[in-house]
Chain A
Amino acid sequence: MAPRVALFATCLGDRLFADACADAVRLLRHLGVTVDFPSAQTCCGQPAHNAGFVAEARRMARHTLGVFADAEYVVLPSGSCAGMLRHTFPGLLHGTDAQRARALAERTFELSQFMVQVLGVTEVGHGLRGRRVAYHHGCHALRSLRVHDEPLALLRGAGAEVLPWRADEECCGFGGMFSVKLPVVSAGMADRKLDTLPAADVVTSADGGCLMQLSGRARHRGDATSFRHLASLLWEAAS
């Protein structure tokens, strides 16, 4: 039986990385996965949770739990939102909701994590041969999900050269509401990333929020750097 994945596009993915979400669907189908898109999905509640609005976050978490209750797997093109489902939901919800959240957490994966850990795939094609890629580790993929090697293995498996970047594990400065509450500090953090960037053809990450921050700052500075979501690069490699 083909694994069945409910794609959680996430609020940012839906509006800012629609093509990357579509590429994630293509990639998963290419790997023999059946993909659903439960249409009642909205936002996981992380923006509210991280800003201290716990009651609001709980409402949103309960909604998300309901939407994905029957999914065999939930896959997100975001380490940050996947971290919210896997690590925050169980503690945020109470009673039977908490039990259901724990069960959901075990079936929830960030895209590259799902591909490597569940599907056992590290080669999706070789279409990135000769491409010099800088990979930004989103904080929650890295420290909440402990996903580090998976995206790198997929990129290398696709033929890309992943360049050393000394700030690759440092925060880009997005942090949800942080980016608008302390915009200058947030931008300074993005500058640190951009100032240390190696001469890559493209910068990629598993997280749309980080890419929005980094590309927004790069365009503001007039940098010509190209940014693409990991799902799009991997689909390019496969197709």
Chain B
Amino acid sequence: MSEANPGGYARAATEAIRRHPEVRAAVTAATHTFDSHRVEAWSEIDPDRWRDWARDVKQHVLTHLDRYLEEAETRLARRGAHVHWAENDAEAVDLLARITARHGVKRVVKAKSMLTEELGVNASLEARGIHVRETDLGEYIIQLLGQPPSHIVGPAIHLSVDDCRRLFNERFGTPLDATPDALAATAREALRADFLAADLGISGGNFLTADTGTLALIENEGNIRLSTSAPRIHVAFVGIEKLLPRLTDLSCFLQLTSRNATGQAIGNYVSLITGPRRPGEPDGPEELHVILVDNGRTRVLADDTAWEALRCVRCGSCLNICPVYRQTGGHPYGYTYSGPIGAILAPGLLGLEEAMPLPFASSLCGACADVCPVRIPIPDLLLYWRERAVEAGLVPAVERAGMKAYATAATHPALFAAAGASLRYLPWEMGGRALPVLGQWSGERAPPEFSATSFRALWREGIE
């Protein structure tokens, strides 16, 4: 699988903010733009009703997932698709390896897919000597740089146009003042050769409708349509939570996802794929493989609280509104999914211990819950994982001791008043070594300004 390292979050985030202010600037600007587009797109609909409905549909499909998965499998097979089931990342890449081996695949083009990032598909293909080309412009750029995506929708969100100009200048000799359009044209030309030479195209899937066995893919660049129709084989990796009951459900979900992700009423291209090329059809792949991936999802589904995160449609709007994410972009999270949704998916999909401290990488401001198109109660789920982390002994001993002492004081008013009076005498200015936990305040902020007299004392004296 791809290398997950959430444990490095605190250090990586700190370093990103201190050493790469340009990343913070790029991410802050881009996420505000994304979010303002969402606000505009929401103004054209009744977002509360749409979100209620989308939540209910997802909730329904997740509570009857066994039935809908079987239905989807039957429909897909009837249309001539090969359906595979992968319990984990190893099985998923192994299924792909068998397909590439059987067909002697040498070159692969890829549509943007976060699931394939989660599974480590590129690394597994490259390890077998297969050439992989990402064809989404943002993905292409970060592939050239050897970086993972830093945002669910905008994988190169951490880069400025100048970063891209320098990269393209080195790789393709384009001028350092090239326009974004000129850079895109250069990438398009380079990618065309890859599309024509590819034996196999890989995609993810935004939705899979059970009643028709239709895979729905949203995009803006046309590269997904090309990746899934030009090569003779198409392999789609689809998380089992991506099911929708009916084709007609797409009318809401395609729009809501697009409106939340980019502020568009709908993506420039929507591909609805129902089976491989049929006799008499001019194009499309000869073979379609749909790999339905679990990779921890049924474990999350079995959790009475955490399962709500599986409604996620990967629109990225919770990242765009998140003031914590905006400080660093996605890389410090050390996981495919970053921002608020990453912080609640990681404990479920990776396991809580490996996901630490991501559930704590939030000020609980609640902005994410207000924009989520499927109303995932993200702050509640962050609190849930924090509670589990405390239960599992995954927080520092000093914090645990401090919190227990605090609770004891707070349930004994005289003790609390005495302890409160002593706070001002703590060595605030000496930092974390002299004052564990609380001392971290002072490295970045002036010490708290305590009132000369506490309110309880003012009250006793009488307030005029």
**A binding-site residues for B, Cβ under 8 Å:** 9, 11, 13-19, 21-22, 25-26, 37, 39-43, 45, 47-54, 56-57, 59-60, 62-63, 139-140, 143-144, 169-171, 173-175, 177-190, 192, 212-213, 215-217, 219-220
B395-439 contact mask (Cβ, 8 Å, vs A): 1 or 0: 100011001101101110100100010011000000000000111
Q: Residue on B with the closest CB to A40? A: B413
Nearest CB of chain B from residue A37's CB, rounded to whole Å = 5
Residues of B near A183 (CB, < 8 A) are 440-441, 443-445
In this complex, which of B364, B367, B446 has the most chain A Cβ atoms within 10 angstroms of its Cβ? B364
Inter-subunit contact B323/A170 (CB<8 Å): yes
Contact (Cβ within 8 A) A192 B366: no
- Pick from A14, A41, A178, A217: contact of B444, CB under 8 Å: A217
A173 touches B13 (CB 8 A): no
B-chain residues with CB within 8 Å of residue A175 when the two chains form the complex: 362-365
Asked if A56 contacts B404 (CB within 8 A), the reply is: yes
B454 CB within 8 Å of chain A: yes
Check A182–B361 contact: CB distance below 8 A: yes
* Chain B residues engaging chain A, CB cutoff 8 angstroms: 10, 13-14, 17-18, 24, 28, 323-324, 326-328, 357, 359-367, 369-370, 383, 385-390, 395, 399-400, 403-404, 406-407, 409-411, 413, 416, 420, 423-424, 437-441, 443-459, 463-464
Give 7 closest A-B pairs by Cβ, nearest first: A175-B363, A52-B386, A216-B445, A18-B451, A56-B407, A219-B446, A187-B444
Q: List 30 A-B contacts (CB under 8 A).
A: A9-B456, A14-B454, A15-B455, A18-B453, A18-B457, A37-B455, A42-B409, A47-B403, A50-B383, A52-B360, A52-B386, A52-B395, A53-B400, A54-B390, A60-B411, A139-B363, A171-B365, A178-B364, A180-B440, A180-B441, A181-B360, A181-B440, A183-B443, A185-B361, A187-B445, A192-B323, A192-B326, A212-B448, A215-B449, A217-B445
**In the assembly, what is the distance between CA of A170 and CA of B369, in Å?**
14
The verdict on A189 contacting B363 (CB below 8 Å), with A42-B413, A47-B406, A51-B399 known, is yes
- Which A residues touch B389, using CB under 8 A? 52
Complex Cα spacing A187 to B400, Å: 24
> Are B454 and A185 in contact, CB atoms less than 8 angstroms apart?
no
How far is it, in angstroms, between the C-alpha of A224 and the C-alpha of B429 when the chains are bound? Answer: 20
Q: Which residue of A lies closest to B21 (CB)?
A: A188
Cβ–Cβ contact A39 & B450, under 8 A: no
- Beta-carbon contact of A53 and B363 below 8 Å: no
Contact of B406 among A26, A48, A143 (CB under 8 A): A48
Bound state CA distance, A175 and B172, in angstroms? Answer: 46
Please determine whether A143 and B445 come into contact, CB atoms closer than 8 angstroms: no
**Contact status B449-A171, CB under 8 Å:** no
Shortest Cβ distance from A188 into chain B, in angstroms?
A: 4
Question: Are B450 and A15 in touch, CB under 8 angstroms?
Answer: yes
Q: Are the C-beta atoms of A59 and B411 separated by less than 8 Å?
A: yes
Residues of chain B with a CB closer than 8 A to A42's CB: 409-411, 413, 416
B328 touches A185 (CB 8 A): yes
Minimum distance in angstroms from A154 CB to a CB of chain B: 20
**What is the minimal beta-carbon distance from A112 to any residue of chain B, in angstroms?**
18
Asked if B451 contacts A43 (CB within 8 A), the reply is no
User: Is the CB–CB distance between B451 and A16 below 8 Å?
Assistant: yes
Which residues of chain A come closer than 8 Å to B444, judged between CB atoms? 183-184, 186-187, 217, 220
Tell me which of A14, A52, A59, A63 contacts B420 (CB under 8 A).
A14
Cβ-defined partner of B441 (8 Å) among A17, A170, A216: A216
Q: Are A52 and B363 in contact (CB under 8 A)?
A: no
Give chain B nearest CB distance to A192 CB in angstroms.
Answer: 7
Interface residue from B327, B443, B456 paired with A189 (Cβ < 8 Å):
B327
In the complex, what residues of A have CB within 8 A of residue B327's CB? 185, 188-189, 192
CB-contact partner of B363 in A43, A54, A186, under 8 A: A186
Identity of the chain A residue whose Cβ is nearest the Cβ of B439 in the assembled complex: A180
B420 engages A11 (CB within 8 Å): yes
